[in-house]
Chains A and B, each alone.
Chain A
Amino acid sequence: GAGVSQTPSNKVTEKGKYVELRCDPISGHTALYWYRQSLGQGPEFLIYFQGTGAADDSGLPNDRFFAVRPEGSVSTLKIQRTERGDSAVYLCASSLTSREGEQYFGPGTRLTVT
């Protein structure tokens, strides 16, 4: 079946602009996660949704970052007033449940802020 998909695959934006990154999880997966991976590092947790609600947003670095999942499926990560330090690969993952299910990752969106 189809895996996690993310669009766009690459996004180049100017400092100060607003961007939206989209994640389409595996059908039927109730839990959805966003991570950020900087060069040479492991993924770092940003936010986790169980259904439509954000169950844990402790990884969001500041209030410029926001994510939604209005219908419990597709999620959008929104970044306002982008900064060069936001440049990274943004990974989305989903799992069947939030308890023991392993997380399945999408290919990521590479964000470059110039």
Chain B
Amino acid sequence: AQSVAQPEDQVNVAEGNPLTVKCTYSVSGNPYLFWYVQYPNRGLQFLLKYITGDNLVKGSYGFEAEFNKSQTSFHLKKPSALVSDSALYFCAVRRPPYGGATNKLIFGTGTLLAVQP
């Protein structure tokens, strides 16, 4: 069965400091991994995805994520946090699109990022 774990309910960081939001996954086969951000009263916004290739993926708003197959992790990172980055972040996984695999995303429970000025 596929699953995603986001071990931290909340991450606090000071503006200008680097941030990391953790995600580990369990899926059979090579995973497709995604990060989404949710601002209050707004829908989920796509940040970045890993399908294949370079383990370091760059996305929107200066975010990046590192795929680590041996640790089954896909942590979200940003070198310098902004107050406007404060939001709820979701990691998601799906199985690759072959062998009858469905296209559904399995989401983690989310991590609230709070960036203090």
Which residues of A line the B interface, CB within 8 A? Answer: 3-4, 31, 33, 35, 40-45, 48, 50, 55-56, 58-59, 91, 93, 95, 98-100, 102-108
A96 smallest CB distance to B (angstroms): 12
Contact of B97 with A106 in the complex, beta carbons under 8 Å:
no
Q: What are the residues of chain A within 8 A of B108 when measuring CB–CB?
A: 42
With A42-B110, A43-B90 known as contacts, the answer to whether A102 contacts B102 (CB < 8 A) is no
Q: Which of B14-22, B39-47, B63-71, B75-83 contacts A (4 or more CB under 8 A)?
A: B39-47
Q: What are the residues of chain A within 8 A of B42 when measuring CB–CB?
A: 107
A48 smallest CB distance to B (angstroms): 6
In the bound complex, CA of A100 to CA of B36 (Å): 16
Contact string against A for B residues 76-117, beta-carbon threshold 8 Å, 1 for contact and 0 otherwise? 000000000000001010000100001111111110000000
In the bound complex, CA of A72 to CA of B108 (Å): 29
Contact residue range for chain B?
20 to 34
Contact of B46 with A103 in the complex, beta carbons under 8 Å:
yes
The contact of B107 among A42, A95, A104, A107, by CB within 8 Å, is A42
Q: Closest B-chain residue to A99, C-beta based?
A: B97
Residue of B4, B36, B105, B108 with highest tally of chain A CB at under 10 A: B105
Contact of A42 with B90 in the complex, beta carbons under 8 Å:
yes
Contact string against A for B residues 15-40, beta-carbon threshold 8 Å, 1 for contact and 0 otherwise? 00000000000000000101010000
In the bound complex, CA of A108 to CA of B103 (Å): 20
Apart from A42-B4, A43-B105, A105-B43, what 13 extra A-B contacts exist at CB < 8 Å? A33-B105, A35-B105, A40-B109, A41-B109, A42-B107, A42-B110, A45-B105, A91-B43, A93-B44, A100-B51, A105-B44, A105-B46, A107-B42
In the bound complex, CA of A48 to CA of B49 (Å): 20
Contact of A106 with B107 in the complex, beta carbons under 8 Å:
no
Q: What are the residues of chain A within 8 A of B51 when measuring CB–CB?
A: 100
A-B contact pairs, 19 of them (CB 8 A): A3-B43, A35-B107, A40-B109, A40-B110, A41-B109, A42-B90, A43-B107, A48-B103, A50-B103, A55-B102, A56-B103, A58-B102, A58-B104, A99-B103, A100-B97, A105-B36, A105-B44, A106-B43, A107-B43
